[in-house]
Amino acid sequence: MNNIMKYKGYWARIQYSDEDQCFFGKVEGLKHSLILFEGETVEELKKDFKDAIDHYLEGCKLDNEEPEVQCKGSLNVRLGPELHVEAKIKSEEKNISINEFIKQAVANYINVC
């Protein structure tokens, strides 16, 4: 089951509230902006999600501000000493940086799964 919705480069995790009998979501990973949406049906949820993103982007445009992005492209990965050593050795064998090695490993995993 996929609980992720995507639109215009943004993604949100979807949940269901039995108490309120509706779906709801939040765009994750934004530090300064809060984008929430909901719907009683999947169709309403999708529409409200798209409307929320469009409203956010239009507001940024009107305020002459750059929209936030959820992922900047860099992160700190804690591998542990043993895995770090093995990754470094493999990257040296392939004559690439450890960053490139990890990037390729993640890309391969995503393409396989």
CA distance 61 to 68: 12
Question: How do residues 21-60 score in pLDDT, each as one tens digit?
Answer: 999 999 999 999 999 999 999 999 999 999 999 999 999 9
Q: Residues 25, 49, 53, CA angle at the centre, nearest 5°? A: 115
10: helix, coil or strand?
strand
Residue indicated by tokens 């169709």: 43
What lies within 8 Å, CB to CB, of 88 at 6+ separation is: 98
CA nearest 101: which of 80, 83, 70? Answer: 83
Question: How do residues 4-20 score in pLDDT, each as one tens digit?
Answer: 999 999 999 999 999 99
Residue 75 pLDDT grade (very low, low, confident, very high; cuts 50, 70, 90)? confident
Q: Is the pLDDT of residue 1 over 60?
A: no
pLDDT of residue 111: 85
Residue type, 24: F
Instruction: Give the class (CATH, top level) of 4-62.
Output: alpha beta
Where in the chain are the domains? 4-62, 81-112
Q: Is the pLDDT of residue 113 over 90?
A: no
pLDDT of residue 57: 98
Residues written for the chain: 113
